[in-house]
Structure 1
């Protein structure tokens, strides 16, 4: 079973190749425990968190600019029997966290596929980038970049830019053997030009990173998550 943060498709595929088992990806939060899941028995679709459990109501606060006739893009909202009542002694925060009809606003941007499986696009305040009029999912781009054999870990975020609002920026931890070989050649493990050339057949042009940083590791919290808000504060000193 997988939780805590979105599971990149390359990681799921590698796990399945090693173990012969496909991970069960689900979605939940402290505020309501568990709400969505791929089936225990049935098709577990990579890059999705499945469908609502029985008794769970789900709706999407649609982003009208980026949805289609068949799919919506927007903030995921949940109502369920296990939903919490309020944040302790924080009435204003509680009020802001619920819709008028009692749905909890998760802060996660989602869409659905053709079978109604929910796809987490990322946190609305950290993983959704506004680049030249496009709203892009950092998680989608990360999942693609992780397929590059020179990449061990990856974090994608939007860095403020005067012309485009934000620009797609990748922080990459190189694969160890690749880094060792390139170090002997006095070359970086991966250049922006190499990444762009590799990604052009895998990502739309406006999704390809225009800035690249190579780090030894990504700072993570106790849950193993990368704090992207904190990373944005660190990047200017790296430029």
Structure 2
């Protein structure tokens, strides 16, 4: 499970962000800080070592989000950052992109867009974990394309769909042969449930898999998948 730090001076927005994060079972909120200095103190302390993702506002007292992001990079802290702001300032966007943010959310944002940002983070993390000790150019190109840091476009696969991950899921589905749930795929393949849903949607669109709803679960209906 990915550990999240929320940095937001508005208590209401901080609460909404935490609720959005907690709706995704692959994430948990470890702490909420009200300003950048408080966040840095936490991240550089022993409790902050396991933080994977920081969701941070731009405009805050004591130390704003951009300056905090610079300090995170200067201290070589091993966490990714999603920036949040109410201002659509191109200069701020450019500066934070240069500092390597995963995504940039402009308030007010929809729940679905927030989840897309989390999915980008997970896709990035899983791509690094899937890398071999020796990487090749195609792997680097696909990773950079997924991050949106370059204008490399795969002519066959849409943005956010990685060839290695796609082939992994296709091979799994072929070997299974019958109907499987998204949770089964997630558990046996080792990918997050959000990533599995994203790839299954693509395979459904391209008619490589079939899907039907299972109402005999005794609770909430679940989606079943099999190769077409």
Q: Which has the higher strand share?
A: 1
Q: TM-score, normalised by structure 1?
A: 0.28
Q: Which one has the bigger helix percentage?
A: 2
What is the TM-score normalised by the length of structure 2?
0.29
